Amino acid sequence: MTASSYTCRYCRLPSDASGVSCPNCGAPVDVKAVVSRSGWTKQPPITDMARIQFGQSRLQIEGNQVPVADFNLSGQEWIYFSHHVLLWADESAQLNSMKMKGGWSRHLAGIPLMMIQGAGPGHIALSDNHAGDMIALPMQAGQAMWVREHRMIAATGNIAYDYNQSDVWFTTQDGDEEEWHYPLGRYNDIFYASNGPGLVLLHSPGNTFIRDLAPNETILMQASSLLYRDPTVGVHLHLEYPHTQGLSWWRSFEHRTVWLRAVGPGRVAVQSVFERPEGAEPIRRSSYATTHRW
């Protein structure tokens, strides 16, 4: 394989294969693909000290268990990120609150989050507080990506950001009180390369697995494991109601499993650490969902 013919199997971009990692996403160049029998490919973590170039600036990943993203920004480029991932910054770096449209309001563990704009020249270091992988998503002009909320570490300034309320939900009821559940999170984060190529950096708890769905190909997954997907991939709830021996057929419908069904075409990525399914209270209402009773 020549350097000019190398295309990264993870970010799908051509690059020079003479280095040890892809200069676009940091994935190791010389590793053998690990593919499960069901078609999932394990994305290897970005190795310690791997460098990713974007514009006149550079990103270096430092560490393995809880990696740090060290951005070395030129005076021409900037990034944005939530304040809770900031570790440190050079005195020369410029940090300012970033105005968000539409009454943007996010909370993590009950604490309100603030979006920060960081500009060079200088270093800005960011990290999550959980063990896992850093995943770099280089995006070409016109490309968009759906990302699970609270998974973004940073995005470059030429990546547009938008959000909307999740349309995947269901409700349960205990007495007169109805409780709303959002298996994908309350909001959808959408990133779009509107002004040339850019980069979105994510944190994935545990390991990361990716696959490409063919048109109309479907797959079931735990909703809280979904990390990112192409906008062409549709998602909706799928409810499984197994018959439980010893209970009446009507009562057995209270015992259910909530899945997320993804429908191709497009790329999907999941994380290996995710929230366990919620309790088995009967579902009263939901967004569009397919159902299987057996």
Residues 61, 156: Cα–Cα separation, whole Å: 16
Spatial strand order of the sheet with 57-62 comes to 51-54, 57-62, 68-73, 122-126, 86-89
List the beta strands (DSSP E) in 158-197: 160-165, 170-174, 177-181, 187-192
Query: How many folded domains does the chain comprise?
Result: 1
Model pLDDT, residue 68: 95
Q: Yes or no: say if 41 and 50 are a contact pair by the CB < 8 Å rule.
A: no
User: For each of the chain's 294 residues, which pLDDT tens digit applies?
Assistant: 444 567 888 888 887 767 778 888 888 887 677 777 778 888 888 888 989 988 899 999 998 889 999 999 998 899 999 999 999 999 999 999 988 776 677 777 777 888 899 999 999 999 998 889 999 999 999 999 999 999 999 999 999 999 889 999 999 887 788 889 999 999 999 999 988 899 999 999 989 999 999 999 999 999 999 999 999 999 999 998 876 655 544 444 456 789 999 999 999 999 998 887 666 678 889 999 998 887
Model pLDDT, residue 5: 63
Q: Yes or no: say if 184 and 275 are a contact pair by the CB < 8 Å rule.
A: no
Beta bridge partners of 219: 262
Residues 182, 185: Cα–Cα separation, whole Å: 5
Q: DSSP labels for 265-284?
A: SEEEEEES--PPP---PPEE
Apex 92 CA angle, 90 and 95, nearest 5: 80
Query: pTM score, two decimals?
Result: 0.89
Distances (CA, A) of 50 to 41, 65, 135, 290: 21, 15, 12, 43
Model pLDDT, residue 244: 63
Model pLDDT, residue 234: 96
Residues 233, 289: Cα–Cα separation, whole Å: 16
Spell out the residues 6+ positions from residue 220 whose beta carbon is closer than 8 angstroms to its own: 238, 259, 260, 261
Phi, then psi, of 86 in degrees rounded to 5: -75, 125
Query: Residue 72's domain spans which residues?
Result: 3-293
CATH for 85:
3.60.160.10
